[in-house]
Amino acid sequence: MTKICLLAGNEQEAINYAKLQNIPREAWFYPRDEKDLLFRTNFYTLVVGSAGMNTPSSIFERIYSLALIRGKIGRI
């Protein structure tokens, strides 16, 4: 099953977004940092809410870029 990576300002914001969009909990994940993405593959990335506003832009860009790269692995 292809999952969705929700890049949000915090985990509660990701939970709220998923609930509003009727996305089941098993269909998405929220990465707390780069390490949460290292062993995941085959997912789509959505940036929601205040993602990137609470962290330095360089850190957000690294996480976002890594999510895009890792998400494409294994996708047909």
Q: Which residues lie closer than 8 Å to 47 by C-beta, 6 or more apart?
A: 7, 8, 64
Q: Around 19, how many Cα atoms within 13 Å sit in the side-chain half-sphere?
A: 6
Q: pTM higher than 0.85 for the full model?
A: yes
Give the pLDDT confidence score for residue 14 in this predicted structure: 95
Q: What percent of the chain has pLDDT over 70?
A: 100
- pLDDT surpassing 80 at residue 76: no
Question: 43: closest CA among 10, 12, 74?
Answer: 74
| Residue 5 one-letter amino acid | C
Residue the block writes with tokens 């993602």: 51
Question: Any residues with CB less than 8 A from the CB of 24 and at least 6 apart, and which?
Answer: 18
Q: Answer yes or no: is pLDDT of 58 > 80.
A: yes
The identity of residue 73, as a single letter, is I
